[in-house]
């Protein structure tokens, strides 16, 4: 008899206990599956292994043939951008094209300052994020799992992910606002 099946008679007297247990097992499987190193991200994952954050949900697959998709992307094989990402400019792209854009010293200093501030803020949050992941893993190892505590830690985990997204979006907005209209137009063609 499996461990779970042996628990069923004891849980049968508590309404919803089996369902809660199954939900927690599902949550644990989902969280550990997403955290596996080297695994491709699931739809909806927003914080990648290197800390990059997607601010838009993943796009639905196109029904266009693969050759049309490949032809529409540039030579660097950049993945298609979402509605939000297509309107913003990553600091790395601005840095790569700073001479072509004609950035002045004030713009360069402002953008560098924003990048440094965002990285500092995100590093602090990532430390907390990892601490929450460890705490959730420890809670999920318990038998039985404390559902209330596990869900509270999972909430803090998603709150940290949301704050990383917000910090990244704020940086992207400030970078865009530092550019002139002609620089934005030129950058749109360069990326």
For residues 103 and 183, the answer to whether their CB atoms sit within 8 Å is: yes
Tell me if the pTM is above 0.85.
no
Span 83-106, mean pLDDT?
90
Q: How many CB atoms lie within 10 A of CB 101?
A: 21
Report helix, strand and coil shares of the chain as percent, to nearest 5.
Answer: 65, 0, 30
pLDDT of residue 19: 57
Tokens of 24: 């927690």
Determine the Cα–Cα distance for residues 139 and 142; give it in Å rounded to an integer. Answer: 6
For residues 163 and 78, the answer to whether their CB atoms sit within 8 Å is: no
pLDDT of residue 170: 92
82: left (phi over 0), alpha (psi -120 to 50) or beta: beta
pLDDT, tens digit, for every residue of 8-60?
A: 444 455 556 555 555 555 555 555 554 544 444 444 445 554 555 554 444 44
pLDDT bracket for residue 121 (50, 70, 90): confident
């Amino acid at each position: 008899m499996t461990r779970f099946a042996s628990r069923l008679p004891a849980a049968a007297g508590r309404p919803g206990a089996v369902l809660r247990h199954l939900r927690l097992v599902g949550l644990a499987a989902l969280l550990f599956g997403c955290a596996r190193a080297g695994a491709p991200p699931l739809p909806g994952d927003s914080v990648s292994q290197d800390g990059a954050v997607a601010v838009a949900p993943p796009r639905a697959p196109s029904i266009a043939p693969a050759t049309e998709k490949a032809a529409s992307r540039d030579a660097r094989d950049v993945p298609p951008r979402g509605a939000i990402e297509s309107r913003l400019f990553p600091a790395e792209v601005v840095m790569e094209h700073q001479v072509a854009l004609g950035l002045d010293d004030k713009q360069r200093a402002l953008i560098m300052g924003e990048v440094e501030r965002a990285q500092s803020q995100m590093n602090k949050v990532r430390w907390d994020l990892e601490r929450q992941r460890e705490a959730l893993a420890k809670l999920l190892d318990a038998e039985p799992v404390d559902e209330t505590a596990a869900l509270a830690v999972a909430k803090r985990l998603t709150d940290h992910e949301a704050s990383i997204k917000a910090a990244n979006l704020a940086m992207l907005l400030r970078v865009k606002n530092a550019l002139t209209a002609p620089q934005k137009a030129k950058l749109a063609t360069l990326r």
